[in-house]
Structure 1
């Protein structure tokens, strides 16, 4: 009846509309149809299936109190062993030099990274006092905001000259130096080849860079070249992307966690074959390795122009605070606007810059310091190897060595017992500490540090105590 009441024009118009609807359905993008179907089901769910929100029941005062009485708060911190080292801190008094006072008892110090015994040096103390009298204790501002003082520029110039580079830059904190430098250069989609044994500050720097990280086995150049070949093959598949991708190799001159040297000459050869930039962190090797303490490049007699950037800390051999980097002006200047540790940290206190300058003066005046340190490092290495029951890790020239026990005995607890026994004999040593999120957690070890002023008799005393500790504690 409805159709009979409609004119032929109306029926034709309806058919045309229906045909147009069918055509639009066929020509509509698939994602559009799926979206409309999902919206239809969402509306149906809201209209027919969604449960109404329950009406909240008001509790009486008695019910509220019962809930409060039943509630047991979770502890803010996990349960900690009362014998944990963090709860049994040894208190230091006075400068941390060759000798150290712990809990009012003096002992021989093999635990501090004070390689050249500059902590407490009278010349350095005198220069620091003069700097306080002239500049005060600090600028309270970043370098770019009224924080730069002439002594900062002098230290940067001295460091550049010391390493034979065009320019230097200093940071206020050793850890933030390399951790800021890496993300200043390497960005997302860049590639970083890095030794899996690098210390924690480097790990944090490469994490902050958000780059593509390629870890190779510690000091394994065959594994490094394998990764380089893999990257080269990937680059051939996408040449346009490869042209925009920067590649970096990041290593340590002398590894903090292992005490061994990096095989730099072969790495330089691979640099020109596979086209990457080399960043070396010389935190431990600066002031300890090389005929004049200029680090791994001097030890291998490698032109520093072949190394794109050298970074280090002033907190070990130099006996001050802060860090620095040296290289070409083109490379170093980039950090002044891009390295967060430089841009946003208060500048290095002038007294610490003065201390670092005077430390450099002493290094340049007494180059025999480094020959003595390397000779004594080799001497100590041979004495430690002669002790039965220990595994000694580290280069024979390194003043930093790791001592471990055989596998079945090498636990942190047993090493701690050796440390405590040594302290009763007035020898201060320490177990190496690591954070649980390290990329590769090194095996437990005692980190042993040699001070240049340690005598052969004192080395013999250390070895005798270590030998006795094996008998007493194991």
Structure 2
């Protein structure tokens, strides 16, 4: 019998054989044991079930929400949302849309869009990496890179998803993001998607930012190994959509080299509105663009199209081709909209010598006249094409909405700035006014006079 036992079993240590025997018995027990069945004693009677059902109060499928009339019955626009728009059947001066350069309704852009439809159709029906790349997409990316004097550009089919995709493409779990409290919702969603450690500093407060940077510097000294593997990002807007003021970019660039972080600059509002030729805050402050790691923006405002873009060095931009989720998984921008954006850039470059000085002049004039209205405060910088106005006393959303309704009844379209409940650090209620560079002085007076009369109509 001993001869039938293999040599490796004879030579194996006793404890090894004991462990294997235990495991074999345990496996057999698991295979043949009876499955667990709950005891019948826990079974509820019909009476118990009825009592539990009577006591149960289901949670609402939708949380309580006070539906405003403007939500249930929104104002309906017929035709292009240009400087003048047909709102609820009435022609109104449009001071609500971000049509800063009056590209919506431009005849040259309309003709370009029609020709593009005849050539390409209305859509691409696929992401960029899956037969969704059209020649006009590549042309637009090259034009945007040239406009900003950088190496490369990349476009997205939806403005919101641009910065919301770009941030998590670079910043990951374990990295640190320093962000201004005033950033708009798309940036906030991008920060959440990155799953990074987030430190918000007070709006445009350099001292508060440096305080956070010093705290992080002290933490890095305690754990240098972790600090070496941690990337740091500063996320800011060039011109803040929710505040109408500029970021102090030169000071932030100085801190970049002192504390070693990367700068993501969102120029959604400042693109084609700020600077002598509309190149944004880098041009306004004369900051070299190579000092900014990534510039993003939207084509849905000044260009009157749809989508967004990022520009910078080829090394940085190319990373989004495989990591920008809005780029990889969304159908690409319809060719007609890309062609329209290219034509808008053509118009900007041809008229930049007069277009942006005119826009700045109109912004300053409206700002000055709004400040002269009693019981009204204006936030932001005077050259901003986005104005936020509030009542000096008893500034409530209800009163601001009454002023907007009064303005609409007098053929001027305004809007109350609205924010989602999920947004962080939402500003105080305000009426948001957008400046169109094609506004005449008399039209600016009309906007101011209607607001002034609206304030009087509510007894303020």
Q: TM range, normalised to the smaller chain?
A: 0.7 to 0.9
User: Would the alpha carbon gap of residues 241 and 428 (structure 1) be closer, same or farther in structure 2, given more than 3 Å must change?
Assistant: same
Task: Tell me the CA shift for residue 53 of structure 1.
Answer: 3.4
Q: 1:366 and 1:53 mapped to 2: Cα distance?
A: 85
In structure 2, what is the Cα distance between the partners aligned to 1:278 and 1:286? 17
Which of 264, 269, 272 is the aligned partner of 2:254?
Answer: 269
- Cα offsets for 1:239-266 (capped at 9, x unmatched): 1111111110010000000000000011
Q: Computing the radius of gyration over CA atoms, which structure comes out larger, 1 or 2?
A: 1
Provide, for residues 307-336 of structure 1, a one-character-per-residue CA deviation record: whole Å limited to 9, x for no partner.
Answer: 000000000000000000000000000000
Q: Give the structure 2 partner of residue 157 of structure 1.
A: 142
Q: Quote the offset at 1:83 in angstroms.
A: 4.0
Structure 1 residues 105 and 230, CA gap change in structure 2 (3 angstroms): same
CA distance in 1, matches of 2:324, 2:84: 37
**Residue in structure 2 matched with residue 233 of structure 1 by the alignment:** 218
Aligned to 2:16: none
1:443 lines up with 2:428 in the alignment: yes
* Number of aligned positions between the proteins: 422
Distance 1:390 1:148, change over 3 A: same
Shift of 1:68: 10
Give the TM-score, by structure 1 length: 0.85
Q: Distance in 1 between matches of 2:251 and 2:117?
A: 46
Instruction: For structure 1, list consecutive stretches of 5 or more residues without a partner in the other structure.
Output: 1-45
Residue 323 (structure 1) aligned with residue 281 (structure 2): no
Structural mapping, 1:21-420, within 5 Å? 52-57=40-45, 76-78=61-63, 80-81=65-66, 83-367=68-352, 368-406=354-392, 408-420=393-405
C-alpha distance in 2, partners of 1:250/1:70?
50
CA RMSD between the two structures: 2.2
Shift of 1:78: 4.8
User: In 2, Cα distance between the equivalents of 1:176 and 1:235?
Assistant: 33
Corresponding residue for 2:14?
none
Q: CA deviation at 1:303?
A: 0.6
The CA distance in 2 between the partners of 1:439 and 1:74, in whole Å, is 26
1:9 corresponds in structure 2 to none
Q: How many angstroms does 1:84 deviate by?
A: 3.6
Distance in 2 between residues matched to 1:78 and 1:242, nearest whole Å: 43
Q: Residues 198, 55 of structure 1: CA spacing in aligned structure 2 closer, same or farther, 3 A cutoff?
A: closer
Secondary structure, in 3 states, of the residue corresponding to 1:270? helix
SS at match of 2:154: strand
TM-score, normalised by the number of residues in structure 2: 0.88
CA distance in 2, matches of 1:237, 1:76: 48
